[in-house]
Structure 1
Amino acid sequence: MILPRPKPETHRINRSGWLRAVVLGANDGIISTASLLVGVSTAGLEQVLMTGIAGLAAGAMSMAAGEYVSVYSQADIESADLRKERLEQQNFPAAELRELADIYVKRGVTRKLALQIAKQLMQHDALGAHARDELGISSVLTARPLQAALASAASFTIGASLPLMVTLFTPAPVLLPWLTGTTLIFLGILGAIAAQIGNASKLRGAWRVILWGAIAMAITAAVGRLFTTKI
């Protein structure tokens, strides 16, 4: 009996690096800018807009710098571990072979077969085999600082521009309810899109982003009213 040829599998783990940065940037852009605008909504429209624009610029640069530094730290750790692994393979090849075989044995492969697999993989790409199976480093999940920084800055700018556009085109008397409502809608759409890309529940993805966005705006609004009252 000839079995039908299976369809090619499409996994989404290769999106995790840039998707995390994009979702984080857009989410932070919407929440932080909208919360900032809600907090100063009692001021004049011009002051509110200037505050929002300043928050957009500062936030985008902060996201880019923070993402770059944090991901670069991960890349430094990966590079250091790979250098150490390369030296160990040069100085103790037999021990490294046994170490790789032990990993496969723990995963359920027989000792004899594990040694055969380890020998073949080390002949093909010793460092790559140890990086993947011993250290958990692969080309799919490797750190890319510049990609993460640019993705975060761009997505933050796009996200932050949404509440700014609402502020620009909404009359001052109804700014607060319009800004709050549209922001929650934007966050829900973002959460659903991120969940769709990650093949997760769109409803759950939207709900958790909306919840934390609402909490952030409520706290910021309370702080804004507190200081406005005191002044």
Structure 2
Amino acid sequence: MSNIEIQSFDLHAEHHRINRNSWLRASVMGANDGIVSVSSLMLGFIASNASNHTIVLAGLAGLVAGAMSMAAGEYVSVQSQKDTEQADLAQEAHEIEHNYEFELGELTAIYVDRGLSESLAAQVARELMEKDALAAHARDELGLHEISRARPLQAAGSSAAAFSVGAGLPLLTALFVPHDILFGSVIAMTLAALIILGGMAAWTGGASIVRGASRVLVWGVLAMAATSLIGHLFGINP
């Protein structure tokens, strides 16, 4: 029998796309909402023949309100997920403390279902529980992994920051572009930003760039068309 050389591996040397899921989802959602909502809001005011001051004020108010709303929504949502995780961990810790052998058998059955022989599964389960019983059950019974754990503050902060960056683009456009070409400029800026955002998000996640850009582009166009129509119908007569 040939000797097998056991090498030492860095378990964190490989970087997988799933590691980005928590912050990527919140950041993409926040930036997309910032661009679409504030651009659409400003286009509605532009179509209503509002003054530049009113347009910028509306955009700024939309930026602040939207960023706070995104942060609060993400925090509450992810905190609820974290509360559920903690409750499950507390329950599992109680069961391990008061019914250790049953939990050992439960973990063994999980490894048998995954393809290990019963004897090897029992050995693996026992050794893992001797090292850290709660971590073993959290990972293999509850499906809780460190890279996917709920992080409410991280989600809230990244959403608010991304929304503010996205919302800042139409605001900057309104500040530096003449009023007579502002409507078309905001639309052009928004479409370009959505294409870039959707493409980058898809590329980062390993998906189709064209498909990713198309998704955000279609919904952005619909939102801008709807608010522009409302501004035109109910706006100030020139």
**What corresponds to 2:199 in structure 1?**
192
Residue of 176, 185, 210 corresponding to 2:183: 176
Quote how far apart the aligned CAs of 1:161 are: 0.3
Quote how far apart the aligned CAs of 1:166 are: 1.2
Counterpart check, 1:83 vs 2:90: yes
Give the letter aligned to residue 34 of structure 2: G
- For 2:147, what is the secondary structure of its paired residue? coil
Alpha-carbon distance in structure 2 between the residues aligned to 1:168 and 1:229: 21
Give the letter aligned to residue 158 of structure 1: V
Residue of 29, 44, 52 corresponding to 2:51: 44
Alpha-carbon distance in structure 2 between the residues aligned to 1:19 and 1:128: 26
Alpha-carbon distance in structure 1 between the residues aligned to 2:69 and 2:81: 18
- For 2:159, what is the secondary structure of its paired residue? helix
Deviations 1:68-113 (A, max 9, x none): 1111111111111100000000111111111112222222222222
TM (norm. structure 2) is: 0.90
- For 2:224, what is the secondary structure of its paired residue? helix
- For 1:10, what is the secondary structure of its paired residue? coil
Quote how far apart the aligned CAs of 1:221 are: 1.7
Structure 2 unaligned blocks of 5 or more: none
Alpha-carbon distance in structure 2 between the residues aligned to 1:132 and 1:216: 42
Quote how far apart the aligned CAs of 1:172 are: 1.8
Deviations 1:106-136 (A, max 9, x none): 2222222221211111111111111111111
Give the letter aligned to residue 227 of structure 2: T
**What corresponds to 1:94 in structure 2?**
101
Mean CA deviation greater in 68-77 or 104-113: 104-113
**What corresponds to 1:117 in structure 2?**
124
**What corresponds to 1:32 in structure 2?**
37
Alpha-carbon distance in structure 2 between the residues aligned to 1:215 and 1:85: 48
Contact 2:27 2:159 in 1 (8 A): yes
**What corresponds to 2:233 in structure 1?**
226
Alpha-carbon distance in structure 2 between the residues aligned to 1:157 and 1:147: 15
Alpha-carbon distance in structure 2 between the residues aligned to 1:191 and 1:59: 20
Quote how far apart the aligned CAs of 1:156 are: 0.8
Alpha-carbon distance in structure 2 between the residues aligned to 1:122 and 1:226: 68
Give the letter aligned to residue 29 of structure 2: L
- For 2:148, what is the secondary structure of its paired residue? coil
Residue of 140, 146, 163 corresponding to 1:156: 163
Alpha-carbon distance in structure 1 between the residues aligned to 2:232 and 2:104: 66
Alpha-carbon distance in structure 2 between the residues aligned to 1:211 and 1:120: 53
Residue of 16, 20, 24 corresponding to 1:19: 24
Alpha-carbon distance in structure 1 between the residues aligned to 2:110 and 2:228: 54
- Share of identical aligned residues, percent? 53
